[in-house]
Amino acid sequence: MAKTTDPRYSPITGRAILYGVLIVIALYYLMPLALMVVTSLRSMDEIRLGQLIEWPDAITFEAWKIAWNEAQIGARDELGLRPYFINSIIMVIPSVAISTLLGALNGYVLSFWKFRGSELFFAALLLGCFLPFQAILLPQSQLLGWLGLTGTIPGLVLTHVVYGVSFTTLFFRNYYVNLPHELIKAAKLDGAGFWMIFFRIILPLSAPILVVTVIWQFTQIWNDFLFGVVFSDPDSQPVTVGLNNLVNSATGEKRYNVDMAGAIIAALPTILVYVLAGKYFVRGLTAGSVKG
* pTM, rounded to two decimals: 0.84
How far apart, in Å, do the first and last CA atoms of the chain sit? 43
Q: What pLDDT sits at residue 292?
A: 45
pLDDT digits (tens, 9 = 90+) for 194-236: 899 899 889 988 888 999 999 999 999 999 999 999 999 988 9
CA distances from 2 to 5, 11, 41 (A): 10, 19, 62
> Regarding predicted confidence, which is higher, 277 or 176?
176
CA distance 139 to 213: 26
Q: Where in the chain is the domain with CATH 1.10.3720.10?
A: 82-286
pLDDT given for residue 171 in this prediction: 92
Mean of pLDDT values over 252-278? 86
List CB contacts of 125: < 8 A, sequence separation 6 or more. Answer: 106, 165, 166, 169
The identity of residue 83, as a single letter, is P
pLDDT at 237: 92
> Do β-strands 76-78 and 71-73 pair in parallel, antiparallel, or remain unpaired?
antiparallel
Top-tier CATH class for 82-286: mainly alpha
pLDDT at 3 over 90: no
Res. 257 pLDDT band, cuts 50 70 90: confident
Q: Average pLDDT of the chain?
A: 84
| Residue 9 predicted with pLDDT over 60 | no
Instruction: Say if residue 76's pLDDT is above 50.
Output: no
On whether the CB atoms of residues 103 and 171 are closer than 8 A, the answer is yes
The residue-averaged pLDDT of 261-276 equals 90
* Angle (deg, nearest 10), helices 82-112 and 118-126: 150
pLDDT over 90 at 146, yes or no: yes
Q: What is the pLDDT of residue 227?
A: 93
Supply the DSSP string of 173-240, one letter for each residue.
HHHHTTS-HHHHHHHHHTT--HHHHIIIIIGGG-HHHHHHHHHHHHHHHHH--HHHHHSB-TTT--HH
Q: Residue 54 has what pLDDT?
A: 77
Mean pLDDT of 64-76: 67
pLDDT score, position 268 = 93
Rounded Cα–Cα distance for residues 209 and 176 (Å)? 9
The whole-angstrom separation of Cα 86 and Cα 92 is 10
**Per-residue pLDDT for 288 more than 60?**
no
What's the rounded mean pLDDT across residues 247-273?
A: 83
264 close to 39: Cβ distance less than 8 angstroms: no
Closest-CA residue to 70 (of 62, 79, 61): 79
* Residue type at 186 in one-letter notation: A
Q: Is the pLDDT of residue 5 over 60?
A: no
Q: What is the pLDDT of residues 84-142, one digit of tens each?
A: 999 999 999 999 999 999 999 999 999 888 888 888 888 888 888 888 888 889 999 99
Residue 49 confidence (pLDDT): 78
Ranges of beta strands (E only) in 31-135 are 71-73, 76-78
For residue 265, pLDDT over 60 is answered with yes
- Work out the pLDDT band at 1, boundaries 50, 70, 90: very low
